Structure formats: C-alpha cells, structure tokens
Amino acid sequence: MTDLLLNERELRFQLYELLDTEALLQRPRYAEHDRGVFDASLTTARQVAAEFFAPHNAKGDANEPTFDGERVHMIPETKAAWDAFAAAGFLAAQHDFADGGLQLPEVVLRACMAYFNAANIASVAYPFLSIGAANLVKAFADVKLRERFLPPMLEGRFSGTMALTEPGQGSALGDLRTLARPADDGTYRIFGQKMFISGGDHELTENIVHMVLARIEGAPAGTKGISLFLVPKFLVNADGSVGLRNDVALAGLLHKMGYRNTTSTVLGFGERDGAVGYLVGEAHQGLSYMFQMMNEARIGVGLGAASLAYQSYIHALDYARQRPQGRHPNNKNPLTPQARIVEHADVRRMLLQQKVYAEGSLALCLYASSLVEDAHTATTELERRNAAELLDMLTPVVKTWSSRYGLLASEIGIQVLGGAGYTREYPLEQYYRDNRLNPIHEGTEGIQAIDLLGRKLGSRGGDGYRLFVAEVLATLLVANNDIHCAPLAALLADALGILEQVTTSLQEQVAADATLGLANATPYLDLFGRVVVGWLWLRQALLASRTLSATQGSETDFYQGKLQAAHYFMTWELASLESQARLLTDANHIAYYMRDSWF
Ligand SMILES: Cc1cc2nc3c(=O)[nH]c(=O)nc-3n(C[C@H](O)[C@H](O)[C@H](O)COP(=O)(O)OP(=O)(O)OC[C@H]3O[C@@H](n4cnc5c(N)ncnc54)[C@H](O)[C@@H]3O)c2cc1C
C-alpha cells in the first residue's frame, strides 16, 4: 500500500485545468521555461518523495528522535531524505537563476511539496521550514547577512527554523519576553527560552539558522516592540566556514502525538554570555517580517493537512475496494459472495465525504499558492495588488478549513477501515495523528477566526472580501448557463447570500462590542470556509461539465466523479449553513455566558 502517493491525474487537473498554471509561461520571469519544466519538477518530486521519504514514514514515527544530553539521534533515512531533497534543487526552487535557483513558480513548488507531505510529513518539515526561513533572509536581511547565510541555506548545508513560541506565550505573540541586548560590534546578545521549535536541533545540516523574535532592551510593550534576529547554532566566519558554537542550547525534546520524526525542541538562548544574534531589517518591525513566513507557513500547513487527507482518502478507497464484508440489505442469501465494502451505501458516503474534503482542501491551498504567485509576478500592478488583498483575507480560511476538514477526512478514513484502521498495520492511524497538529500550529483555529473577523475582513476598507464576492458572482454567472451546474449554482448563490448577511451582521456586532462580536468567530470562519470551498467545487464541476462529452473510459469516470462530488458538497455540506447563520445573526452567546464556575 506504500505506493499510493497522492494522484497525478488530480494534481494535473488542479494545476492545469482548475488553475491556468501554463499561462504563467507568458510572464517574463518564466520566459525560459516551458510546460515540460513544470511537469519534470512534479515527476522529480514524486520520485524523490517515493524513494527517499515514503519508505521511512512509519519507521520515523515508531523511532522518534532522542537527545542524550549532548546530541540528537534520529533514524539515518532522515538525512538521506534531506540530502535528496536538496540535491533535487527544491530548497532553491523558487529562487532566481542567478542565486542558483530554478525560478519555479510558487504554485508548482507547492504542488511538488504536496507529494513530499503525502509521503512523510514529519521528515519534510525540515526542508519546509528551511524554505520559509531562507525566504525571510532573502526578503529582509541586509546584503552582508544575506551573502553569508542564504547560499548555504539554498544549497542545503544550513537548515532554518522559526522561533516564536515561548513557554509563557503561544498565541499571544505580543507578550513574548526573549530579550536582545545590543553589543558593541553592532550585533545583539539574545537571552530567553523558546519552546516547540520544530527542527530546532538535529545533525542533518552543518548549521541551523534560527529566525528568532525578541524584544530589544527598552523596546515598547506589545507587538510594536518585537524585532527579528538571525541566530545561528554555530557562528559563521567571514570566509563562510562554520565556526564556534553559539550560545544556543537544546534543553530537551518534546514528545508528540504525531509528526514524530520532526524534532520539537525547547531551546535556551544565552544561558552563558548571550547568543549572538543579527538584527534582520529594522528594529521593532520583526512581527511584520515574520508574518511573511507565517503566512507562507499557514498555506503550507493547510496543504500539509490536505495532503494527509488525500492519503487517508486513497488508502481508505483502496481498502474498501478489496475488503469483502456483508451483503446488500435486500440480498438475504448467505450463499452469494459477500459484497466489497465500497458497495455499501454508508461506506460510499464516507468515501465521498473524504473526497470532497481532500480534493476541496487541495484546490483551496493550490488556489492560495496561485495568489501568492500572482501577488509577485502578475502582469499589472492592479492584478498584483488584488491578488495580495484576496490572499491576505483568505489565508485564515485556507489554513483553518483545510486543517479542520483535512483532519476529518483522516478520521473518516479510519472508520472506513473499521478495526484495521485502528491498528498500526495500516497507515491511517498515523495520518490521523500527524494531521491532528494542523489545526493547532501556525495559529490555532480560534486565533485564525479572530484574525479573519476582527482584522482581515475590514482591512483596506474590505477590498479583499469584495474581491472574493466578485469572483464568486462571476463563476455563478457562467454556471447559471450550464445544464449540469445551474442547480449547483443556485445552491451556492443562496450560500453566498447567507454569508453576506452574516458578515454584515457580525461586523456590526464587532463594532458595537469587540469581545461579544468576536465570541462566535470560529463558527463564522467555518461558514465562510464552506462557501469558499463550495465556490471551488462549482468551478471544478463547470470544468467537468464542459469536458465530459469529449472523454471516454477512465477520463469520463474522473469528470463524472468531480460532478458527483460537487453535487454532494452543495447539497450536504452547504445544507446546514442557514441554521448556523441564524445563530450568528441572532448573536447567540450561550457559550460566552457560561461561567467558569458552572463547568
Ligand atoms: C508540534 C508543534 C510544532 C510547533 N512548531 C513551532 C515552531 O516551529 N515555531 C514556533 O514558534 N512555534 C511552534 N509551535 C507552537 C504553536 O504555534 C503554538 O502551540 C500555537 O500557536 C498555540 O500556542 P499555545 O500552544 O501556547 O496555546 P495557547 O496560546 O495557550 O492557546 C490554548 C488555547 O486557547 C486558545 N486561545 C488562546 N488565546 C486566545 C484568545 N485571545 N482568544 C481566543 N482563544 C484563545 C487557543 O485557540 C487554544 O485553543 C508548534 C507547536 C506544536 C504543537
């Protein structure tokens, strides 16, 4: 069963039919590429993922890294996987040719990452974080720092982390306490403890570059006083060679439910005389810089959840097609062969639910990645700005919907297998445990919901929200004239109307009283997410409807499946929107008024 790795046909559909990825070739940045380059990258990603990542997914889970007080030990396959990832050029894939990169579009790189996530989410966390850290260095570090640290990060000699969380603060970054004291030579000495830092220690690379949020002595309280520092595990000499150990110590490893082959570290900075840290960009602007990495990581976390959802779906499907059990209710003859469980209505329902969540979240995350791309390389300034605003508004939805429903797809996968799903002989239980992290890290569901309702919806006069509504209306206009899609369009139009009403009502509630108004932010985000994914399912249905008549065999099945799934999503998943919306517009605050002492 280990050869089941996403689905090439699905990824091709997402990239080249749902998104017009080939059109990127018209942009000057990609003028030297052709479709073959994109396809070759995907093929390489699939091969490297299958050969170097998938085979040790279960082994890494069963043999998590250990710390003997001096060194971290982990299974050797992890290092081979890191090396293969770096050798294939994926660490530098997005970067300029001049920097040794491949100038691969964001959306193609993320589609490649889906293969790695699907193969082994824990081992790919090291390169995933390193790509984000390198992007941060590239965007905000000064030339000297960039020249010293970026090339080895892109080559795979140095890896990277993001170090935000502390023992005393997780969601509330404004309260972080790690201190940065200016030194005479223009660098800083960092003092404090960071917790939950993924990839914070290991021996996969010569050096680890920590991107650390800290407060310069005397800086204002709250988020405005936070700066960003580059703090290497080993100091780097002027000639680029790795020098003395910096004052960054591993205090211990955390033991997790999933993602076990990723080290989760507690790091002590400055337990001796202070860890040498280099200020990145300007003082007190650290959080705004870090948001670049966090936003990138939020889409990446969503994509991780979508990839695990997809794995859970195809493994459950594979099992259901083989497992004989029981007979149809109207067949009372025990002498007839048993039905395969895929034939049972309840199992089909579960598989279809998994399909709409897995393919819906994949579509959502790749769409978001295409917006990242457009925000950087779209032809006109207006297109770039619109993409950036849409992306900014949708990021909490992308992260949260994919994490919540991706996890649900993994959970349903266990149910499809029955008892087998609960055993470690099958990968479903690991997918579930791994996927359980995604609604937590990179900002919990509750924090994303407050971000959407309290900040993103109204930012820049609500442009992002208006752009989204305009996109949906444009799709509805086309779908209304399509024989298969017109009934689905009517359902989505109703859902959009509900979203509009709820949004207006909640914005008024927030303006009147932020605490009460934000009390139901999470169910609002959920409702919002279902409309967004409903829109993406309608777009998939439209493509299927247009293409079906010209297809045969497995291609007909593929598009027929898309239509059926879109139908299911619109009728079943959007059905409860109205009652959920009423609770929100009625300002139902039952949970808020529950008192601590009544629990
Ligand atoms: C496996 C793993 C890997 C991680 N990797 C990294 C990493 O590489 N780098 C890094 O810096 N961090 C990392 N983290 C930390 C992660 O981002 C935090 O765990 C997360 O942001 C939540 O913070 P917390 O755990 O302190 O929970 P808390 O902030 O204590 O939250 C607990 C609960 O309270 C809710 N809550 C908190 N504040 C509010 C509020 N104002 N309004 C409403 N609800 C609220 C939350 O939604 C949550 O349900 C990782 C965590 C894990 C588990």
Pairing of strands 179-182, 158-163: unpaired
Helices (H) and strands (E) in the chain, counts: 19, 12
Residue 54: DSSP 8-state: G
What values do phi and psi take at 224, rounded to 5?
-70, -15
Q: What is the mean pLDDT of residues 330-335?
A: 94
Half-sphere exposure of 259 (CA within 13 A, CB side): 26
Q: What is the mean pLDDT of residues 170-186?
A: 96
Pairing of strands 158-163, 207-216: parallel
Q: What is the mean pLDDT of residues 498-517?
A: 97
Which long-range contacts does 320-327 make (Cβ < 8 Å, 24+ apart)? Answer: 320/347, 320/351, 320/416, 323/417
Percent of the chain topping pLDDT 90:
97
| Ligand 1 atom nearest 163 alpha carbon | 11
Tens-digit pLDDT profile for residues 520-556: 999 999 999 999 999 999 999 999 999 998 999 999 9
Tell me if residue 145 falls in helix, strand or coil: helix
**How far is the centre of ligand 1, averaged over its atoms, from the C-alpha of 14 (Å)?**
32
pLDDT at 94: 94
pLDDT at 294: 87
Q: Are 435 and 412 in contact (CB under 8 A)?
A: no
Tens-digit pLDDT profile for residues 78-88: 999 999 999 99
pLDDT at 539: 98
Q: What is the mean pLDDT of residues 355-370?
A: 98
pLDDT at 1: 40
Instruction: Quote the tokens at residue 97.
Output: 């040719």
Residues 442, 500, 508, 573: which is the catalytic one? Answer: 442
Q: What is the mean pLDDT of residues 141-169?
A: 97
Q: Which of 193, 255, 205 has its CA nearest to residue 65?
A: 255
452-476: buried (b, 16+ CB within 10 Å) or exposed (e) per residue? bbbebbbeeebbbbebbeeebeebb
Q: Is residue 442 flagged as an active site residue?
A: yes
Beta bridge partners of 180: 190, 216
Residue with CA nearest ligand 1 atom 37: 171
pTM: 0.97
Instruction: Quote the tokens at residue 521.
Output: 């932010």
| Ligand 1 atom nearest 129 alpha carbon | 8
Split at pLDDT 50, 70, 90, the class of 295 is confident
Average pLDDT, the chain: 96
H/E stretch holding 66: strand 66-67
Q: What is the mean pLDDT of residues 368-385?
A: 96
**How far is the centre of ligand 1, averaged over its atoms, from the C-alpha of 250 (Å)?**
20
> Could you count the other beta carbons within 10 Å of the beta carbon of residue 50?
16
Beta bridge partners of 249: 268
297-314: buried (b, 16+ CB within 10 Å) or exposed (e) per residue? bbbbbbbbbbbbbbbbbb
**How far is the centre of ligand 1, averaged over its atoms, from the C-alpha of 416 (Å)?**
31
Split at pLDDT 50, 70, 90, the class of 292 is confident
Tell me if residue 194 falls in helix, strand or coil: strand
Which residues neighbour 599 within 8 Å (Cβ) at sequence distance 6 or greater? none
Query: CA-CA distance, 372 to 360, in Å (whole number)?
Result: 19
Residue 253: exposure state from Cβ atoms within 10 A (0-12, 13-18, ≥19) = middle
Q: What is the mean pLDDT of residues 554-559?
A: 96
Beta bridge partners of 207: 158
Tens-digit pLDDT profile for residues 58-71: 999 999 999 999 99
**How far is the centre of ligand 1, averaged over its atoms, from the C-alpha of 188 (Å)?**
27
Tens-digit pLDDT profile for residues 385-420: 999 999 999 999 999 999 999 999 999 999 999 999
Q: Which of 164, 227, 234, 174 has its CA nearest to residue 198?
A: 164
Tens-digit pLDDT profile for residues 6-54: 999 999 999 999 999 999 999 999 999 999 999 999 999 999 999 999 9
pLDDT at 2: 46
Beta bridge partners of 194: 267
Q: Which of 455, 470, 407 has its CA nearest to residue 435?
A: 407
Q: Are 75 and 56 in contact (CB under 8 A)?
A: yes
Pocket around ligand 1 at a 6 A CB cut-off: 161-165, 170-171, 196-198, 256, 259, 264, 437, 440-444, 446-447, 450
Tell me if residue 183 falls in helix, strand or coil: coil
Q: Which of 141, 285, 297, 169 has its CA nearest to residue 223?
A: 285
